[in-house]
């Protein structure tokens, strides 16, 4: 007796529905994409009963009576005709499965009218079978109503989550579609209450309507979309919105490129706000990897990664000097959007001036010191300075760093930003206190100096101005076999930084020369930290590890007392470079407006 049989069409439709219609949110995504493919400029969605009942109305092209009947048949589509069309897709849908799959697991009605028809037509479908049809009077477009989703698949019904969970998934779907199609008006109602609405009047209005004006003003444009400033960092990757040819996708390649572009700017556990619109030849991607079409494959991952990372990194560095982080408490009025649980940005001082020590020249206006740009010669116990001429051409690491970091115009601009500053002193020998423009500014002295050293060392390296000094007694360092292998592989790079290193037998290396650098920590300790950075960050450029390690380990530490003159030099140099995070991404400045202090003390 033969055991293999062809499944009944109703059973195969239910199986297909399990892939295409995972939950109410995935169903709504399919319906929205159909409306967009029909050139709709207005899409309205109403959801009730935990997502099991949905009505979606659009003003798109609509369907003729014949097309309406065909629309619920599997693999009936207007998007592709030939095999070649699959690899040249310009539409959202193409399989002809969505309506057939939805119809097979729900009670559905579809009413539609196209421009050529005098009247519209409506069909009623129960579990994939048309049970009734009639003519209707309606405007051009399509109206689809789904009731009792999964009524005939109780197992699938059991997997639905709570109402809030299902509704949040639906909000996310509509929001991501609205971001991609900001010239289309969207309206989402949950239990007959409007929770999301866009006007379809362009990107800026869309961002304000979906999030807030604060988000809009902190978004900057670059070649492949928009990136957020440091003021709107998030605690998850959920705010990296990626669109490939206007299709919302989750792409680890692109997410990694975005995060890597922010390297040295992001604190651990913080992620940027970004909206990426990446257009690519449809032949270079495969959107048919997964039924949801959320996952795609690129023919060349490395090209996509490098293009996005390099463009964003270049733009970030070009614009950083003009954007100082604003941590104003009085501006913390970003309301959590109705559509996402946004983290409210708050900065509240937990202590007021504990251990506050006034310097003798307290409340002194900051001085422009002519000699501050002429760094004092570093004096140490080394002999014989030798200038290094690097022969290596490093094209993959921070190309813009090869340019001169500052020019005369930028220098003048930075100095102008220091007007009206009054240095108050130090707090706990850890923070620099400054008064400016009716605001108390608190600077972390270690991070200030670390950023300055980082910029100086990077500038010297790329301008080939690092000199090295011979040691009277070479330094011997014990390393593991893996660490030694890593160091030996990068001897040329270490040499370009002034470290002349030799293999000295099993698990040992010696350092014969070091860079002309004011090592506040021992050379040995600094070098151990470089090795630690190298081993812990596999994909990071070794040069960046060296620069960060040397800067961090040799910067002024918390607990060191500074004179007004030293503070003045630090602040001038900080504003000269215009970078306001440490290389690890921690903020340098906290700003507390006097108005906020007045409120705290009940004055206003």
3-state secondary structure 326-341: CCCHHHCCCCCCCCCC
Q: Containing H/E element for 551?
A: helix 542-553
Domains 9-197 and 211-331 share a fold: no
% of the chain exceeding 70 in pLDDT: 75
The pTM for the full model equals 0.68
Q: Is the pLDDT of residue 330 over 70?
A: no
Task: List strand residue ranges (DSSP E) for 68-184, in order.
Answer: 107-113, 120-126, 129-136, 141-147
The stretch 186-212 carries a mean pLDDT of 97
Q: In what order do the strands lie in the sheet with 467-478?
A: 383-387, 467-478, 508-515, 500-503
Residues 6+ apart with CB under 8 A from 257: 304, 305, 306, 308, 309, 312
pLDDT value of residue 390: 36
pLDDT tens, position by position, 543-553: 888 898 899 88
Per-residue pLDDT band at 401 (split at 50, 70, 90): very low
- 394, 435, 542 from 497: Cα distances, Å: 13, 39, 11
Q: Is the pLDDT of residue 426 over 70?
A: yes
Q: Is the pLDDT of residue 395 over 50?
A: no
Strand partners for 190:
47, 193
pLDDT value of residue 10: 59
Per-residue pLDDT band at 529 (split at 50, 70, 90): confident
Of 302-316, 341-355, 411-425, the poorest mean pLDDT is in 341-355
Of 170-179, 196-205, 494-503, the poorest mean pLDDT is in 494-503
Token pair listed for 476: 């011997």
| Pure H helices in 182-230 | 203-210, 213-217
pLDDT value of residue 284: 87
pLDDT tens, position by position, 84-113: 545 555 556 544 578 988 999 999 999 999
Task: List strand residue ranges (DSSP E) for 246-403, in order.
Answer: 247-249, 274-278, 285-286, 297-298, 356-358, 364-365, 383-387
CA atoms within 13 A on the CB side of 530: 25
Backbone angles phi, psi at 277, to 5 degrees: -115, 100
Select from 168, 162, 174, 170 the least CA-distant residue to 210: 174
CATH architecture classification, 356-595: 2-Layer Sandwich (3.30)
DSSP one-letter code for 584: T
Q: In what order do the strands lie in the sheet with 193-197?
A: 129-136, 120-126, 107-113, 141-147, 53-58, 42-48, 185-190, 193-197
Residues 6+ apart with CB under 8 A from 113: 62, 63, 119, 120, 121, 136, 138, 139, 140, 141
Contact 127, 72 (CB under 8 A): no
Token pair listed for 325: 């982080």
The stretch 560-587 carries a mean pLDDT of 87
Of 424-438, 466-480, 515-529, the poorest mean pLDDT is in 515-529
Per-residue pLDDT band at 34 (split at 50, 70, 90): very high
Radius of gyration of the chain (CA): 31
Question: Which of the listed ranges 188-192, 256-260, 523-527 does the model predict with the highest average pLDDT?
Answer: 188-192
Q: Is the pLDDT of residue 190 over 90?
A: yes
pLDDT value of residue 291: 56
Q: Is the pLDDT of residue 344 over 70?
A: no
Contact 309, 264 (CB under 8 A): no
The stretch 68-92 carries a mean pLDDT of 64
The stretch 147-162 carries a mean pLDDT of 91
The hierarchical CATH code for the domain 211-331 is 3.30.230.10
Per-residue pLDDT band at 351 (split at 50, 70, 90): very low
Distance CA 389, CA 383 (A): 19
pLDDT value of residue 532: 83
Per-residue pLDDT band at 354 (split at 50, 70, 90): very low
The stretch 193-202 carries a mean pLDDT of 97
pLDDT value of residue 381: 33
Q: Is the pLDDT of residue 269 over 90?
A: no
The hierarchical CATH code for the domain 9-197 is 3.30.565.10
Q: Is the pLDDT of residue 277 over 90?
A: yes
Select from 166, 224, 175 the least CA-distant residue to 195: 175
% of the chain exceeding 90 in pLDDT: 51
Contact 327, 347 (CB under 8 A): yes
Residue 493 burial (CB count, 10 A): 18
Residue 270 CA from chain centroid, whole number: 9
| Average pLDDT, rounded, for the chain | 80
Backbone angles phi, psi at 553, to 5 degrees: -70, -20
Q: Is the pLDDT of residue 46 over 80?
A: yes
The stretch 18-38 carries a mean pLDDT of 88
Domain boundaries, the chain: 9-197, 211-331, 356-595
pLDDT value of residue 448: 95
pLDDT value of residue 501: 94
pLDDT value of residue 91: 56
Q: Is the pLDDT of residue 160 over 60?
A: yes
């Amino acid at each position: 007796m033969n055991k293999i049989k062809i499944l009944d069409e109703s059973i195969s439709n239910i199986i297909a529905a399990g892939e295409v219609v995972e939950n109410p949110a995935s169903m709504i995504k399919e319906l929205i994409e159909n409306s967009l493919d029909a050139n709709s400029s207005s899409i309205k969605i109403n959801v009730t009963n935990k997502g099991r009942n949905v009505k979606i109305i659009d003003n798109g092209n609509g369907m003729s009576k014949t097309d309406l009947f065909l629309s619920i048949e599997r693999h009936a589509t207007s998007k592709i005709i030939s095999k070649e069309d699959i690899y040249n897709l310009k539409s959202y849908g193409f399989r002809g499965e969505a309506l057939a799959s939805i119809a097979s697991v729900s009670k559905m009605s579809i009413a539609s009218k196209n421009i050529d028809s005098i009247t519209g037509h409506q069909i009623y479908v129960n579990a994939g079978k048309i049970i009734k049809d009639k003519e209707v009077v309606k405007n051009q477009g399509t109206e689809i109503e789904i009731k009792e989703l999964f009524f005939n698949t109780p197992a699938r019904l059991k997997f639905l989550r709570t109402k809030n969970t299902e509704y949040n998934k639906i909000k996310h779907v509509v929001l991501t579609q609205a971001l991609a199609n900001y010239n289309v008006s969207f309206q989402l109602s949950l239990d007959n209450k409007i929770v999301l609405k866009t006007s379809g009047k362009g990107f800026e209005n869309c961002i304000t309507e979906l999030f807030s004006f604060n988000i809009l003003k902190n978004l900057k444009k670059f070649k492949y979309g928009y990136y957020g400033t440091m003021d709107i960092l998030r605690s998850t990757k959920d705010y990296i919105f990626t669109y490939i040819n206007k299709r919302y996708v989750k792409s680890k390649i692109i997410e990694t490129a975005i995060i890597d572009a922010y390297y040295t700017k992001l604190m651990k556990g913080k992620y940027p706000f970004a909206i990426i619109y990446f257009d690519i030849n449809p032949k270079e991607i495969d959107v048919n990897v997964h039924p949801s079409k959320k996952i795609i494959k690129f023919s060349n991952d490395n090209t996509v990664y490098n293009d996005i990372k390099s463009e964003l990194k270049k733009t970030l560095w070009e614009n950083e000097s003009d954007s100082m982080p604003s941590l104003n408490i009085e501006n913390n009025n970003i309301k959590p959007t109705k559509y996402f649980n946004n983290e409210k940005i708050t900065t509240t001082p937990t202590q007021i001036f504990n251990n506050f020590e006034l310097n003798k020249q307290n409340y002194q206006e900051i001085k422009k010191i002519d000699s501050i740009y002429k760094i004092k010669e570093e004096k140490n116990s080394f002999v014989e300075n030798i200038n290094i001429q690097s022969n290596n051409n490093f094209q993959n690491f921070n190309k813009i760093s090869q340019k001169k970091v500052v020019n005369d115009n930028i220098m003048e601009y930075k100095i102008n930003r220091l007007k009206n500053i009054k240095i108050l002193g130090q707090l706990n020998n850890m923070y620099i206190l400054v008064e400016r423009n009716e605001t108390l500014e608190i600077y972390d002295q270690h991070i200030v100096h670390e950023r300055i050293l980082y910029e100086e060392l990077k500038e010297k390296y790329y301008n080939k101005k690092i000199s090295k000094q011979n040691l009277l007694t070479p330094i011997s360092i014990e390393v593991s076999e893996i660490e030694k292998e890593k160091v030996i592989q990068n001897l040329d790079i270490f040499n370009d930084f002034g470290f002349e290193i030799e293999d000295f037998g099993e698990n040992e290396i010696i350092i014969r020369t070091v860079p002309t650098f004011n090592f506040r920590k021992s050379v040995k300790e600094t070098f151990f930290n470089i090795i630690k950075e190298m081993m812990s960050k596999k994909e990071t450029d070794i040069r960046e590890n060296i620069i960060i390690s040397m800067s961090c380990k040799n910067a002024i530490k918390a607990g060191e007392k500074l004179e007004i003159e030293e503070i003045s030099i630090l602040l001038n140099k900080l504003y000269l470079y215009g970078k306001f995070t440490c290389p690890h991404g921690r903020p340098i400045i906290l700003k507390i407006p006097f108005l906020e202090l007045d409120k705290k003390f009940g004055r206003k």
